[in-house]
Amino acid sequence: MTTTANQPSVHSRRALLLGGAATVAGAAAGFAAGSGGGTARAAATQPGDPMHGRETIAFHGDRQPGIQTPAPAFVSFLALDLILPDASNEIEQREILRRVFRLISDDAARLMDGRGILADTEPELAANPARLTVTVGLGPLALKTMNPGLLPSWLRELETFPGDTLDPAWGQSDLVLQICGDDRMSLAHASRAMLKDLRPLARLHWVQDGFRHSRGSQDEAATMRNLFGQLDGTGNPSGERLERALWGGENLEPWVPGGTSLVLRRIEMDLDAWDRVDRPGRDFSLGRRQDTGAPLTGSHEFDSPDLRATDELGLPVISPDSHVARSQPREADEIILRRGYNYLEPGSAGLLFASYQCDPGRQFLPIQRRLATADMLNEWTTAIGSAVYAVLPGCAEGSYLGKELFAG
Amino acid sequence: MTTTANQPSVHSRRALLLGGAATVAGAAAGFAAGSGGGTARAAATQPGDPMHGRETIAFHGDRQPGIQTPAPAFVSFLALDLILPDASNEIEQREILRRVFRLISDDAARLMDGRGILADTEPELAANPARLTVTVGLGPLALKTMNPGLLPSWLRELETFPGDTLDPAWGQSDLVLQICGDDRMSLAHASRAMLKDLRPLARLHWVQDGFRHSRGSQDEAATMRNLFGQLDGTGNPSGERLERALWGGENLEPWVPGGTSLVLRRIEMDLDAWDRVDRPGRDFSLGRRQDTGAPLTGSHEFDSPDLRATDELGLPVISPDSHVARSQPREADEIILRRGYNYLEPGSAGLLFASYQCDPGRQFLPIQRRLATADMLNEWTTAIGSAVYAVLPGCAEGSYLGKELFAG
């Protein structure tokens, strides 16, 4: 490391860095043309322009953004319960839900584009969206209201797994908004603006805020670390496996084309107890090294774990009860995309486990049932919240989420 | 804006951007040589290296870091109360405090340098400090314990100002650690690591977490915005005025050379009520335009407000009860450095007002008393926490904070 700047010159160096980076980004503009939801755009840059604040992700497209798009630094999951009139009046109930999706679609498109919502009182806070995304999921009641014929068998309260200590305060809701972004300010504004718009139609059930490394603090392609210090998400699929896991393919089908599902579990981690576990104990429980993330049978993070390897005593190098061994897919369908975030609040810390998969019954449940019965890490982790949502397909400009899916 | 990349190519573009920016930072290395606390360093960069995660601020120097160093994206203020033995045993009490400062100094120097603390269980989470700083302040009891002869007259519980609704849960503590950084992960790790080390010596009183715009989401030199959407901190001093305000000069003296003070107030902001105020009403209450931050008598953020200007009816353009008019210094000593952060928690949002000044009695109090009696913004803001701390001078390598200041 070299000494580069005393305090006043930090500004100058920063301006140079910003200007320089902006030019680099400008040079890279037009690198590849994209289309559909999740397309990233960068503002035309000038020296001194923000480096990434004005980068936007497109809201419109066949699929919703915020799933396959790289996970930015922050998330707010907002759970909402619908305020529905008399249950016997199905038409009016569906009309309420249409209004909800019209509002969400208009708000999300504007906010993700760096504009405020209609009649925004603080559009200044929306100006740097920093890859803001809004993703919408439906709980059982919302999908039943929309179109009972579409209800997939897995869309019901998640079973309570062995070891779960579920608090209804973090439980299933009618709707979830997943709002992600690299700037806590624009995210705070977007959450508030959307909640305000939805207030007459839905009640807030819970908010779960999470974080990863800040953008630019490390290589963005690096696997995130959780608060136990472990690399978390190494086994995520990519390419065609990811495509199939999220949107369907051989043997796997989403509940509706372009749709998928979100499982969200609030997993409390006992950091104080974890502190007392030494490095070999930690690595043995995980089946990987904490420092590199390499499986105990390998030397690099992405080496495949060899579950049959034994040591000189004939004992397995990776314990069959380690997290890695228990979470290894037994069937080709057991693939999920983990897109979790850390949470830290006074009195509670852990992981917002979020996984996307087109059919949680065949993809998520078998893995989770195995983990629940004998993952050594369970000694230090407890799920305290659990919910599942059907994720709507994306929508085209001029339309709104779910428009074509309503019954009647 | 141009379409630049669909989803897979975000990674490629990002890698290019990271590589490019790192090279720019590399080219800027050695730009200016700095010394003393608060000196910024950048790691030797290679293409693909983290962009700013390995940037460090030096802990050692005549003054503590985290005051005059530019405010990074996040803060955790940790309030601690000392666990002291029998009050009659002054020598043993001072010995406890020495141990506290030895621990803090060692931990802070390591963490700010990107190394874990001694016997760190997750050094991986310390590797990207991202301009981490640790700044230490003393409440009345801690300074009395250290050396009663040094106790400045202003170091006592802050008076309750008109309009304050103080909750002791956010009140004065014996010590405060201000931990700042651009990466929420490294900050979370640093807070936890230090609390763990201090556990036998001090009890946690409160934690106050705050945020500003993420690094790189906008020009770093830009004034931050608060959750009302206002630019917050436009009037901050710079250059020689700042030097005098923080460290003393004509007519102003710190409690000890290289020391200064921190006032921290938790100011709840009623965002729902503020939503109902239209733009002219907001601008009139503040005395500035919300969009540009310009005073109502000017056109640019840094134009001086003209408090004598009148409109065609002879009425003042800037109301004498506006925030700008009430906070204008009446005396040359009324200069403070505001270094606040926004906070947003379920059920409460607002500002962590943090100001640094060498003599709060002459610098902070007169301004605050004026604001408390007639600032129009008070209709939407309420202080719910309030505390003041004596900030120790910095320390040299091999020494620890406060070493030379102990009595006896």
Please write the tens of the pLDDT for every residue from A227-268. 999 999 999 999 999 999 999 999 999 999 999 999 999 999
- How does DSSP assign B273-306, residue by residue? HHHTS-HHHHHHHHTB-TTT--BTT-SSTTSPP-
Does the pLDDT of residue A29 top 80, yes or no? Answer: no
Please report whether residue A351 resides in a domain.
yes
C-alpha to C-alpha distance for B226 and B350, rounded to whole angstroms: 8
- For residue A360, the distance in angstroms to the closest alpha carbon of chain B comes to 24
Picking from A5, A74, A196, the nearest residue to B40 by CB comes out as A5
Please report whether residue A31 resides in a domain.
no
- CB contacts of A213 in chain B (<8 Å) are 53, 128, 183-185
Per residue in A367-396, pLDDT (tens digit) is: 999 999 999 999 999 999 999 999 999 999
Residues in chain A: 408
Please report whether residue A8 resides in a domain.
no
- Separation of first and last alpha carbons in chain B: 66
Residue range A29-37: average pLDDT?
34
Residue range A294-314: average pLDDT?
96
Interface ipTM: 0.88
Whether chain A has a CB inside 8 Å of the CB on B156: the answer is no
Per residue in B246-273, pLDDT (tens digit) is: 999 999 999 999 999 999 999 999 999 9
Q: In one letter, which amino acid is A262?
A: L
Per residue in B374-386, pLDDT (tens digit) is: 999 999 999 999 9
Query: What pairing do the DSSP bridges indicate for beta strands B337-338 and B381-391?
Result: unpaired
CA proximity to B6, closest of A334, A1, A57, A402:
A57
- CB contacts of B271 in chain A (<8 Å) are 192
Q: Which residue of A has its CA nearest to B128?
A: A217
B46 band by pLDDT with thresholds 50, 70 and 90? very low
Question: 70-99 in A: which are within 8 Å (CB) of B?
Answer: 70, 73-74
C-alpha to C-alpha distance for B404 and B408, rounded to whole angstroms: 11
CA proximity to A109, closest of A341, A402, A396:
A396
Query: What pairing do the DSSP bridges indicate for beta strands A381-391 and A337-338?
Result: unpaired
Per residue in A48-98, pLDDT (tens digit) is: 445 899 999 999 999 999 999 999 999 999 999 999 987 778 899 999 999
Residue range A137-153: average pLDDT?
97
What are the distances in angstroms from CA B119 to CA B199, B201, B342?
15, 18, 33
The region that residue B156 occupies, defined by phi over 0 for left and psi between -120 and 50 for alpha, beta otherwise, is beta
**Whole-number pLDDT of residue A92:** 92
Of the two residues A146 and A25, the one the predictor is more confident about is A146
Does the pLDDT of residue B23 top 80, yes or no? Answer: no
Catalytic one of A197, A209, A232, A375: A232
**Whole-number pLDDT of residue B26:** 31
Residue range A168-188: average pLDDT?
97
Containing H/E element for B352?
A: strand B348-357
CB A226 within 8 A of CB A269: yes
Report DSSP state, residue B224: P
C-alpha to C-alpha distance for A347 and A166, rounded to whole angstroms: 17
Residue range A138-154: average pLDDT?
97
Does the pLDDT of residue A5 top 80, yes or no? Answer: no
**Whole-number pLDDT of residue B31:** 27
Pair of tokens at residue B287: 């005395």
C-alpha to C-alpha distance for A367 and A12, rounded to whole angstroms: 52
Residue A189's Cβ-count burial label (10 Å; 0-12, 13-18, 19+) is buried
Report DSSP state, residue B174: S
Whether chain B has a CB inside 8 Å of the CB on A216: the answer is yes
C-alpha to C-alpha distance for A365 and A360, rounded to whole angstroms: 6
Please report whether residue A155 resides in a domain.
yes
Q: Which residue of B has its CA nearest to A221?
A: B11
Whether chain A has a CB inside 8 Å of the CB on B17: the answer is yes
**Whole-number pLDDT of residue B39:** 61
A39 band by pLDDT with thresholds 50, 70 and 90? low
B1 band by pLDDT with thresholds 50, 70 and 90? very low
Whether chain B has a CB inside 8 Å of the CB on A6: the answer is yes
Please report whether residue A29 resides in a domain.
no
Mean pLDDT of chain A: 89
CA proximity to B287, closest of B269, B301, B271, B272:
B301
Are the beta carbons of A2 and B42 separated by less than 8 Å?
Answer: yes
Catalytic one of B107, B183, B197, B232: B232
CB A402 within 8 A of CB A101: yes
CA dihedral B137, B141, B146, B151 (to 10 degrees): 80
**Whole-number pLDDT of residue B346:** 84
A–B: how many Cβ contacts below 8 A? 302
C-alpha to C-alpha distance for A255 and A236, rounded to whole angstroms: 22
Q: Domain limits at A190?
A: 50-216+224-405
C-alpha to C-alpha distance for A371 and A367, rounded to whole angstroms: 6
Q: Which residue of B has its CA nearest to A29?
A: B4
Whether chain A has a CB inside 8 Å of the CB on B119: the answer is no
A57-88 per-residue burial string, b: 16 or more CB within 10 A, e: under 16:
bbbbbebbbbbbbbbbbbbbbbbbbbebeeee
C-alpha to C-alpha distance for A56 and A130, rounded to whole angstroms: 6
Secondary structure string (H, E, C) spanning chain A? CEEEECHHHHHHHHHHHHHHHHHHHHHHCCCCCCCCCCCEEECCCCCCCCCCCCCEECCCCCCCCCCCCCCCCEEEEEEEEECCCCCCCHHHHHHHHHHHHHHHHHHHHHHHCCCCCCCCCCHHHHCCCCCCEEEEEECHHHHHHHCHHHCCCCCCCCCCCCCCCCCHHHCCCCEEEEEEECCHHHHHHHHHHHHHHHCCCEEEEEEEEEECCCECCECCCCCCECCCCCECCCCCCCHHHHHHHHHCECCECCCCCCCEEEEEEEEEECHHHHHCCCHHHHHHHHCECCCCCCECCCCCCCCCCCCCCECCCCCECCCCCCHHHHHCCCCCCCCCEECCEEEEECCEEEEEEEEEECCHHHHHHHHHHHHHHHCHHHHHEEEEEEEEEEECCCCCCCCCCCHHHCCC
Whether chain A has a CB inside 8 Å of the CB on B225: the answer is yes
**Whole-number pLDDT of residue A41:** 57
B86 band by pLDDT with thresholds 50, 70 and 90? confident
CA proximity to A247, closest of A356, A366, A340:
A356
Angle value at C-alpha B138, between B76 and B85, nearest 5 degrees: 110
Please report whether residue A1 resides in a domain.
no
Q: Which residue of A has its CA nearest to B30?
A: A4
Does the pLDDT of residue B109 top 70, yes or no? Answer: yes
Are the beta carbons of A32 and B9 separated by less than 8 Å?
Answer: yes
What are the distances in angstroms from CA A247 to CA A101, A255, A257, B150?
22, 9, 7, 68
Does the pLDDT of residue B218 top 50, yes or no? Answer: yes
Are the beta carbons of B6 and A32 separated by less than 8 Å?
Answer: yes
Percentage of residues of chain A with pLDDT beyond 70 = 88
- For residue B79, the distance in angstroms to the closest alpha carbon of chain A comes to 13
Has B232 been annotated as catalytic?
Answer: yes
- CB contacts of A211 in chain B (<8 Å) are 184-185, 188
- How does DSSP assign B201-216, residue by residue? TEEEEEEEEEE-SPBT
Does the pLDDT of residue A45 top 80, yes or no? Answer: no
Per residue in A194-214, pLDDT (tens digit) is: 999 999 999 999 999 999 999
- CB contacts of B215 in chain A (<8 Å) are 214-216
Per residue in A308-355, pLDDT (tens digit) is: 999 999 999 999 999 999 999 998 899 999 999 999 998 899 999 999
CB B233 within 8 A of CB B338: yes
Whether chain A has a CB inside 8 Å of the CB on B241: the answer is no
**Whole-number pLDDT of residue A12:** 34
Pair of tokens at residue A42: 């960068």
Angle value at C-alpha B18, between B110 and A22, nearest 5 degrees: 115
B37 band by pLDDT with thresholds 50, 70 and 90? low
Whether chain A has a CB inside 8 Å of the CB on B359: the answer is no
Are the beta carbons of B53 and A213 separated by less than 8 Å?
Answer: yes
Q: Look at chain A and report how many structural domains it folds into.
A: 1
**Whole-number pLDDT of residue B51:** 83
Of the two residues B346 and A9, the one the predictor is more confident about is B346
Dihedral sign of CA atoms A334, A340, A342, A347 in order: negative
Picking from A31, A219, A342, the nearest residue to B13 by CB comes out as A31
Please report whether residue A312 resides in a domain.
yes
Please report whether residue A15 resides in a domain.
no
Whether chain A has a CB inside 8 Å of the CB on B292: the answer is no
B16 band by pLDDT with thresholds 50, 70 and 90? very low
Whether chain A has a CB inside 8 Å of the CB on B310: the answer is no
Are the beta carbons of A227 and B188 separated by less than 8 Å?
Answer: yes
